[in-house]
Amino acid sequence: MNIANWALKLLPLENVWWIVSKRNPLKKNVPNDFVKRLEQTKRLVSGSNMLVKDIENKFDINYTIDLLSYLKKEYTDINFVWLMGADSMFKFHEWKDWEKIFQMVPIVVFARPGYNGFWSSTAASKYKENFVGVEKFDLLNKFKTPIWTFFDVPEKDISSTQIRNKNKL
């Protein structure tokens, strides 16, 4: 929620899509019931500029690269941007076809507590020449991917797992 709110404040976005995944392929534990997580997410997400989607479940999509391919094919009039916390950059190189993700959409990374070292991650190192400071990161004009930036926003020290546990999903 923190990242979504900051993204809407700092970027020229019409809205933020929350795409509830069936499961994280990098995690061993299978998440709790998808329907419950989807409903809980809908209750947590507020604001007309935030939309909760179940695209991955509905179309049997398991990986971000497949999700982005689907979105770009089905929503040709939308310019998507990938939003994520700095914690995700540490293992981004383990994502399926992670380099293609960098080629498909601009990536916006937001500060997360304890993850300032993401600058030395495999993904950040590989695409260091494609980093653009926030003052020059302009989504309104044509951009060439790969491109990414980092917003050092006030951090909330809570994970999605902690939120799920708190709300007993």
Let me know if residue 128 belongs to a domain: yes
pTM here?
A: 0.85
Q: Which two tokens stand for residue 69?
A: 């391919």
Q: Can you tell me the distance from the alpha carbon of 112 to that of 90, in angstroms, rounded to the nearest whole number? A: 12
What is the count of structural domains for the chain? 1
Domain-embedded: residue 105: yes
Token digits of residue 98 = 């992670």
In a domain, 72, yes or no: yes
Any domain includes 28: yes
**pLDDT by position in tens, the chain (length 169):** 889 999 999 999 999 999 998 776 666 665 568 888 888 889 888 777 999 999 999 999 989 999 999 999 999 999 999 999 999 999 999 999 999 999 999 999 999 988 888 999 999 999 999 999 998 887 766 678 999 999 999 865 555 455 445 554 4
The CATH number of residue 60's host domain is 3.40.50.620
Within-domain flag for 163: no
Domain assignment present for 45: yes
E-assigned strand segments in 24-118: 50-53, 82-85, 107-110
- Considering the domain boundaries, does residue 27 fall inside one? yes
- What is the extent of the structural domain holding 8? 2-155
